[in-house]
Structure 1
């Protein structure tokens, strides 16, 4: 068996980059191929279901990132609250490249993507929100308050990404990260 020329994480990040900017319906096989460094035939060899399998793999990859970088950090009671929050906000900043990147959940929620990937998108978002709920409860909030703050946190991140992209400035995204820090202190 020949070694793979392109590693899985590199390939998935390339696919994610195209799907973030183009959405599911807008991402062409040519663009996906170029972003991964693989020929179309190699992509189909790895993803027999074509673009649908590629998007599903990207969402699974993203869910793994959310689980490692957000959920598990927020629920780790061996780390102080402030360190958990700072680590998670730094991860969110990295995940969205300082507010320059579009959210995959948003991109794949458009057009036919939501009917194809709605359950996977919901699962990833739930993981994110549930981490913030558990963090809020751990900080002494009741479940209702923790849930409201967790939902608002997700909404704020997503809204700030849209605003940042539309005005060509990452300032709204960076301000929201500060607002979230203040929300939980």
Structure 2
């Protein structure tokens, strides 16, 4: 039997948490999505679903740090290059608008009570990243933060709309709006 990589496991877990949230994710679904038996899943995550969720959130935080924050903060690149690379990464993580946001899925009911601090940290990291970009294109600190918040709202809102309409067009339009906002 082939060994399942940590990345495959985390991506499998994330797909279930994205679609079901914390409360809706069953152990059977989590095991099936990872390709592991329930016993193997518990062996890797003895703390159960709570530990699995924390690991997925840590994985997402690391992804945001590497693919958004570091990219948008990279002063070796001109702001337009930073934005293009970061938006390409965002487009990829949301499968061009076909995937829902992990933070949204986990910000309901028990998920928020258990993981609110991790969710808030990830969102703040996102906002700080776009704020840095805003300052790089000449926005003052207050405007840069407002535009960062607007970008987050547009991505999240467009993901909901894309899912409801079964179309990636709202998400792609939001990505274009963000591109337009940070033109130098």
TM (norm. structure 2) is 0.97
Q: Distance in 2 between matches of 1:141 and 1:82?
A: 14
Q: Distance in 1 between matches of 2:181 and 2:137?
A: 12
Residue 22 of structure 1 is aligned with which of 17, 20, 23? 20
Q: Distance in 1 between matches of 2:82 and 2:128?
A: 15
1:184 aligns with 2:182: yes
Which residue in 2 is equivalent to 1:83?
81
Q: Distance in 2 between matches of 1:180 and 1:159?
A: 13
Which residue in 2 is equivalent to 1:44?
42
Q: How big is the alpha-carbon RMSD for the aligned residues of Structure 1 and Structure 2? A: 0.8
Residue 119 of structure 1 is aligned with which of 102, 111, 117? 117
For residues 83-138 of structure 1, what are the alpha-carbon distances to aligned partners after superposition, in whole Å with 9 as ceiling and x for unaligned? 11000111110010010000000000012100000000001111111001111112
- 1:48 shift after superposition: 1.0
SS in structure 1 of the partner of residue 144 of structure 2: helix
Aligned length in residues: 182
Structure 2: stretches of 5+ with no match in the other structure: none
SS in structure 2 of the partner of residue 101 of structure 1: coil
Q: Distance in 2 between matches of 1:97 and 1:134?
A: 25
Q: Distance in 2 between matches of 1:182 and 1:140?
A: 14
Q: Which runs of 4+ in 1 moved over 6 A?
A: none
Q: Distance in 2 between matches of 1:31 and 1:156?
A: 30
Which residue in 1 is equivalent to 2:142?
144
1:64 aligns with 2:58: no
Structure 1: stretches of 5+ with no match in the other structure: none
